[in-house]
Amino acid sequence: MPLDGRSHLRVARPSRGLAAAERFWARGLGLDVLYRAAGERPGEHDLLMLGWPDAAWHLELVHAPGRPVLPRPTEEDLLVLYLDGPVPAELVARLTEHGGRRVASPNPYWERWGVTVEDPDGYRLVLCERGWSSS
């Protein structure tokens, strides 16, 4: 298969704790757990894949208890979801109830058009009220 717009995208990140991350991404945002695995042999890591089954992307979170790689996000490490409508206050409340923290964005565009929530690992999710168009 050629590399094109139908190619599946995986966003992989280290996590301090998969249970806290799962609460935020699954219970808070509403992603499905697509796959999980426990690293059972030396050198392996615990793995959690989250997404929507029909999406062309998923989020992979990894944690190696014996040799953790700590997340090092910056304020510009963003995962942006375009809602094409107002950001529901209930969704923002659910994200904060499940371990997220609403933060201000240093980028005026995201402050104007979205809501930024930091996940338990410090990565930022932007819920944008605009729609996405590649044109």
Q: List pLDDT tens digits, range 33-50.
A: 999 998 777 667 899 999
- Buried/exposed 47-65: b ≥16 CB within 10 Å, e otherwise: bbbbbeeeeeebbbbbbee
Q: How confident is the model at residue 83 (pLDDT cuts 50, 70, 90)?
A: very high
Rounded to an integer, what distance in angstroms lies between the CA atom of residue 6 and that of residue 97?
34
Q: Per-residue pLDDT averaged across 112-128, rounded? A: 97
The predicted structure's pLDDT at residue 60: 97
Q: Per-residue pLDDT averaged across 93-112, rounded? A: 97
Mean pLDDT score across all residues of the chain: 92
Q: pTM for the complete prediction?
A: 0.91
The predicted structure's pLDDT at residue 134: 58
Rounded to an integer, what distance in angstroms lies between the CA atom of residue 14 and that of residue 69?
6
Q: How confident is the model at residue 4 (pLDDT cuts 50, 70, 90)?
A: confident
DSSP three-state, residue 21: helix
Q: How confident is the model at residue 131 (pLDDT cuts 50, 70, 90)?
A: very high
Q: Per-residue pLDDT averaged across 47-75, rounded? A: 91
| Domains in the chain with CATH codes | 9-63 (3.10.180.10), 78-128 (3.10.180.10)
